[in-house]
Amino acid sequence: MSAAVLPRPVAVTRIERAALASARLLTAWVAARAARREARRDVLARRIHAEQTATRDPRQLTYELACGGHSIR
Would you state the pLDDT for residue 48?
83
What's the CA gap between 57 and 18, in Å, rounded?
A: 60
State how far the alpha carbon of 69 is from the alpha carbons of 22, 41, 42, 72, in Å.
47, 20, 19, 10
Contact 44, 50 (CB under 8 A): no
Would you state the pLDDT for residue 50?
82
pLDDT in tens, 1-41: 556 776 766 677 888 889 999 999 999 999 999 999 999 99
